[in-house]
Chain A
């Protein structure tokens, strides 16, 4: 399997993307900002199509659009946590813009079908060139390192914003920076699993980790392990089974991990002692 160039590229890019998604996803879940991640994934679609319609590099559109909207959402919302109705209204319109760019793009390049749209929506991890995969890996690792560097204050600010602010942690600025980081990861993951499915890599590993342990650092490790594991298993499965698209396989594995964690948490609650498993206690 690894003899194929495209599989090596897929593993390289997929691992880096999963690393970044696992780390950022844990915080996304902890801060209850999955919906913001959802919105950014739709913004990624519009950004990519806008770039395609204008004849620019799709990746440029991806990163510019997601980071700009992420920072905008962060600045608009109170305490850098925008409320759901605002997010919903903004991203539906952005999505509408995306359909406009799609129409312009399809009309402009006569004969071009919806492949660009499908690539952006559902990803094309098996179609990455070696250079693209290396770049994706570099960005993914950079995002992961940034997240780790911010992890301590961010954990504090996410779990208890009031006390954190009292102790001089810049909660608001952290919120905006975190959303920008989420934007980068969303753009990055769109290339691997697609704009519509990146939510699976953000929410499922983080959610599962949160169900498994209340200790934040262990949770981060679980989240990364589940994200990377799902990506690997998904890639292998889609290689072995012809009709199974890679993105569906990866998201399916992540969902299975989440279900497993939920069952485990439920059994533990039922079991003798009924321990608390949710990561709501302070660091």
Chain B
């Protein structure tokens, strides 16, 4: 935050100039935009596949990764990508082994998450002091994003989105109706592993901006809102990305002009949108959003 709090003048031109006056804010907006596109796309598939808990666990293990990297003196980005990628592999292999039992899966995911957090806390205490740093790791900060980080983010985003586009159609098929897809020769298991690893990378990228605990805002809420509103995959994906962008931009703008944290504003904007969509659907016609399976198949 600048030393003097910027004040909102309600004149769009002045406000936009204020918003882009400092380079940290421009970088925050750039990074936020990239992260929103990533979160919107991957979140849509995550919600469709019912992997919300796995996604949350991946986002949480970003914290020990970052803390470990800080402790070892490595670049933070390495810690984020390393720990999220590793956790994604572990989850994919552990849950793909016995995919018929929901109870076992949810226990495994919970254990991975708790262990990751325990490890993170250990790293933080070994690191000593630096509690302000801890809060930044958990709840994110948009103040310290460098141009280099934006570059890295952009490359990761482009690469993972290209892969997602490449596997998009079979992944959609496998997500909506795994049994038929397997019978049709789609490598359902390999796709599941690939998707989780990609999700891990996307989460690692997002966590650097939003913090480990709030990544989930961009992953779950825009996607859940979009799936309330439309059952068709194409428009749904586009809507999910659009909503994520709105959440990031509005959240960043309000956070810039107010003394309260980005995490609060971003989650509030997203939650209001989600509630509005639910009310809209409830008012219009019951159960539109859950018809995704029929529409896509």
Chain B, residues 41-53, CB within 8 Å of chain A (1/0): the string is 0000001001011
Chain A, residues 93-123, CB within 8 Å of chain B (1/0): the string is 1011101101110010000011101100110
B12 at the interface (CB under 8 A from A): no
Known interface pairs A88-B56, A199-B110, A278-B104. Does A99 touch B261 (Cβ–Cβ under 8 Å)? yes
Question: Are B106 and A29 in contact, with the CB atoms below 8 A?
Answer: yes
Q: Which residues of A contact B47 (CB under 8 A)?
A: 85
Residue of B with least CB distance to A250: B118
Q: Which residues of B contact A248 (CB under 8 A)?
A: 118-119, 121-122, 125
Question: Are A103 and B264 in contact, with the CB atoms below 8 A?
Answer: yes
| CB of A246 to closest CB in B, whole Å | 10
Q: Measured between alpha carbons, how far is A44 from B131 in the docked complex, in Å?
A: 20
Known interface pairs A199-B110, A207-B111. Does A114 touch B134 (Cβ–Cβ under 8 Å)? yes
Question: Are A196 and B117 in contact, with the CB atoms below 8 A?
Answer: yes
Question: Are B217 and A96 in contact, with the CB atoms below 8 A?
Answer: yes
Question: Are B115 and A252 in contact, with the CB atoms below 8 A?
Answer: yes
Q: Measured between alpha carbons, how far is A250 from B53 in the docked complex, in Å?
A: 23
Known interface pairs A35-B52, A88-B216, A251-B114. Does A100 touch B106 (Cβ–Cβ under 8 Å)? no
Residue of A with least CB distance to B216: A92
Instruction: Count contacts on A: residues with CB < 8 A to the other chain.
Output: 62
Q: Which residues of B contact A185 (CB under 8 A)?
A: none
Q: Measured between alpha carbons, how far is A93 from B270 in the docked complex, in Å?
A: 8
B266 at the interface (CB under 8 A from A): yes
Question: Are A100 and B261 in contact, with the CB atoms below 8 A?
Answer: yes
Among B98, B260, B271, which residue has its beta carbon within 8 angstroms of that of A100? Answer: B260
Q: Measured between alpha carbons, how far is A30 from B217 in the docked complex, in Å?
A: 28
Q: Measured between alpha carbons, how far is A197 from B125 in the docked complex, in Å?
A: 15
Among B214, B227, B259, which residue has its beta carbon within 8 angstroms of that of A95? Answer: B214
Chain A, residues 160-196, CB within 8 Å of chain B (1/0): the string is 0000000000000000000000000000000000101
Question: Are B102 and A32 in contact, with the CB atoms below 8 A?
Answer: yes
A66 at the interface (CB under 8 A from B): no
Chain A, residues 216-233, CB within 8 Å of chain B (1/0): the string is 000000000000000000
Q: Measured between alpha carbons, how far is A42 from B53 in the docked complex, in Å?
A: 13
Q: Measured between alpha carbons, how far is A245 from B113 in the docked complex, in Å?
A: 17
Q: Which residues of B contact A200 (CB under 8 A)?
A: 110-111, 114-115, 117-118
Q: Measured between alpha carbons, how far is A254 from B270 in the docked complex, in Å?
A: 35
Q: Measured between alpha carbons, how far is A142 from B68 in the docked complex, in Å?
A: 39
Q: Measured between alpha carbons, how far is A272 from B166 in the docked complex, in Å?
A: 43
Q: Measured between alpha carbons, how far is A31 from B104 in the docked complex, in Å?
A: 10
| CB of A145 to closest CB in B, whole Å | 24
| CB of A235 to closest CB in B, whole Å | 14
Q: Which residues of B contact A201 (CB under 8 A)?
A: 114
Known interface pairs A114-B132, A118-B134. Does A89 touch B274 (Cβ–Cβ under 8 Å)? yes
A33 at the interface (CB under 8 A from B): yes
Question: Are A97 and B264 in contact, with the CB atoms below 8 A?
Answer: yes
Q: Enumerate B90-114 residues with CB–CB distance to A below 8 Å.
A: 98, 101-111, 113-114
B221 at the interface (CB under 8 A from A): yes
Known interface pairs A97-B264, A197-B121, A245-B121. Does A204 touch B114 (Cβ–Cβ under 8 Å)? yes
Q: Measured between alpha carbons, how far is A100 from B111 in the docked complex, in Å?
A: 29
Question: Are B114 and A254 in contact, with the CB atoms below 8 A?
Answer: yes
A267 at the interface (CB under 8 A from B): no
B267 at the interface (CB under 8 A from A): yes
B241 at the interface (CB under 8 A from A): no
Among A92, A115, A211, A247, which residue has its beta carbon within 8 angstroms of that of B104? Answer: A211
Q: Measured between alpha carbons, how far is A230 from B103 in the docked complex, in Å?
A: 22
Known interface pairs A37-B110, A99-B139. Does A89 touch B221 (Cβ–Cβ under 8 Å)? yes
Residue of A with least CB distance to B267: A96
Question: Are B224 and A85 in contact, with the CB atoms below 8 A?
Answer: yes
Residue of B with least CB distance to A39: B56
Q: Which residues of A contact B132 (CB under 8 A)?
A: 113-114
Question: Are B110 and A34 in contact, with the CB atoms below 8 A?
Answer: yes
| CB of B175 to closest CB in A, whole Å | 14
Question: Are A99 and B264 in contact, with the CB atoms below 8 A?
Answer: yes
Q: Which residues of A contact B270 (CB under 8 A)?
A: 89, 92-93
Q: Which residues of A contact B227 (CB under 8 A)?
A: 85
B138 at the interface (CB under 8 A from A): yes
| CB of B41 to closest CB in A, whole Å | 17
| CB of B230 to closest CB in A, whole Å | 15
Q: Measured between alpha carbons, how far is A200 from B116 in the docked complex, in Å?
A: 10
Question: Are A203 and B111 in contact, with the CB atoms below 8 A?
Answer: yes
Question: Are A34 and B106 in contact, with the CB atoms below 8 A?
Answer: yes
Q: Measured between alpha carbons, how far is A63 from B103 in the docked complex, in Å?
A: 27
Q: Measured between alpha carbons, how far is A279 from B177 in the docked complex, in Å?
A: 27
Question: Are A93 and B135 in contact, with the CB atoms below 8 A?
Answer: no
Question: Are A100 and B122 in contact, with the CB atoms below 8 A?
Answer: no
Of the candidates A29, A89, A199, A279, the one having the most CB atoms from chain B within 10 angstroms of its own CB is A89
| CB of A31 to closest CB in B, whole Å | 7
Given A88-B52, A102-B261, A196-B114, 6 more contacts at CB 8 Å? A33-B106, A113-B132, A200-B110, A207-B104, A210-B104, A255-B115
Contact sample, A vs B, 12 pairs, CB 8 Å cutoff = A29-B103, A31-B103, A84-B53, A89-B271, A92-B271, A96-B265, A103-B264, A201-B114, A203-B107, A243-B126, A248-B121, A251-B118
